[in-house]
Structure 1
Amino acid sequence: MKLSRISSSRNWQLKVALAALILPVFVSTVSEAQVSQMLKAKESEAQKFVVSMNKAQQVYYAEKAGFTSSVSNLLVYMGRQIKPNSANYSYSIGMVSKAAVFNYGVSKQANLKSFVGGVFLVGNKTQTILCLNVAPGKTKPANPTNTKGVLACSANTAKVAQ
């Protein structure tokens, strides 16, 4: 009788020890997946905002024969009343020439990636591109380029499908 009690006691201890080893790995995996999803959702919001800025710049150009350097001017064309600054991103516009404008979604968090959208006048039409920083951080992405009508992302950035 005593032998069976010792055996079942050891089984119980083994089960507890095994659970103590496996449970943190499972919880850690779930937590990492949840964090990853939250980061992607925040980045998706910024991506959509910069894409909307690109489209609004195209409409603005068609109506005014030029680009705007004011995010406020674009909000009318974007069809939404979103503030140009959120808890996670700061939005701005950089004008280099009359033939190009750059729309930025720069991360305020070290663990989020930043975006840059470019709208270029190619011939008599506008073309857009969307790029994001390869690494997360609060760094403003390098401007995309236009070489004879071929748009490309710059160093340390990657093209994002729109």
Structure 2
Amino acid sequence: MAVSSYVSSSQNSGCGCLLSLIFLGLLGLIFAPSYLSTSTRSNGQSEARTYIDSMNRAQQAYFLEQDKFADTIPALDLGIKTQTENYTYSTRLTDKAAFNYGIAFSDKYTYRKKYFGLLSKTIKQPLKSYVGGVFIIPATKVNPNAASDELTTISILCEATVIGSTQPAEPTYIDNQLTCGEGTIEL
């Protein structure tokens, strides 16, 4: 009699485990989208971040080869157009820096999905603008063993915190510190 009761008990617990697994699986289906993709940006903003970062790296390579910065985007030899569907790109030089801009068109938007369990909502937001800076510094600032007259470059990429087609403030290099300009954050 005890054996029969034991078998009966194990049959019930097997059913309970199966129901628990099904329940956990359903919970996973409901909440997984919110963990896997809370924000999906359009190609617009990722395009600008990629272009400005590439322009920064190309300016560093150009300086290494030419001892000066490129004064135009075509001179960087990246194949980047100065105007795309979403952004206008430009570069500006000073004696010690090159600034690369990706200015968003005011009528362009990025779309991202926000998930609420099985439901999602697409949110439309205007694109942000970007600025990159490449600065000439003494190589001894990054390598104490470098020759005292040797120069090198460092770079920074910044995103505007406000939406719009206004040129972001330029980053700075002061007291050995790279800093994004007012109204921008470092990426």
Normalised by the size of structure 1, how large is the TM-score? 0.70
Quote the residue 1:56 is aligned against: 58
Match for 2:169: what amino acid? Answer: A
User: 1:52 Cα shift?
Assistant: 0.3
Alignment counterpart, residue 170 of structure 2, candidates 143, 154, 157:
143
Quote the residue 2:104 is aligned against: 107
Quote the residue 2:161 is aligned against: 134
Alignment counterpart, residue 134 of structure 2, candidates 102, 116, 119:
119
User: What are the Cα deviations for residues 54-74 of structure 1, in whole angstroms up to 9, with x where unaligned?
Assistant: 000001001110012200101
Greater strand share, structure number: 2
Greater helix share, structure number: 1
User: What are the Cα deviations for residues 29-60 of structure 1, in whole angstroms up to 9, with x where unaligned?
Assistant: xxxx9xx6354x31011100000000000010
SS in 2 for 1:143: coil
SS in 1 for 2:94: strand
Distance 1:82 1:154 in 2: 25
Listed as ranges, the matches of 1:25-104 within 5 Å are 37-39=40-42, 41-74=43-76, 76=77, 78=78, 81-97=79-95, 99-104=96-101
**Unaligned stretches of 5+ in structure 1?**
1-32
**Unaligned stretches of 5+ in structure 2?**
1-36, 108-125, 139-150
- Report the identity percentage: 38
Match for 2:100: what amino acid? Answer: N
User: 1:154 Cα shift?
Assistant: 1.1
Quote the residue 1:155 is aligned against: 182
SS in 2 for 1:37: coil
User: 1:121 Cα shift?
Assistant: 0.6
Normalised by the size of structure 2, how large is the TM-score? 0.61
Answer yes or no: is the 8 Å Cα contact 2:73–2:80 preserved in 1. no
Larger RCO: 1 or 2 (CA < 8 Å, sep 6+): 2
Listed as ranges, the matches of 1:15-26 within 5 Å are none
Quote the residue 2:3 is aligned against: none
User: What are the Cα deviations for residues 82-133 of structure 1, in whole angstroms up to 9, with x where unaligned?
Assistant: 3221010000001122x11100001013510000000001111100000010
Q: Name which one, 1 or 2, has greater alpha-carbon Rg.
A: 2
Distance 1:125 1:37 in 2: 36
Distance 2:106 2:175 in 1: 36
Distance 1:143 1:82 in 2: 21
SS in 1 for 2:132: strand
Distance 1:38 1:157 in 2: 19
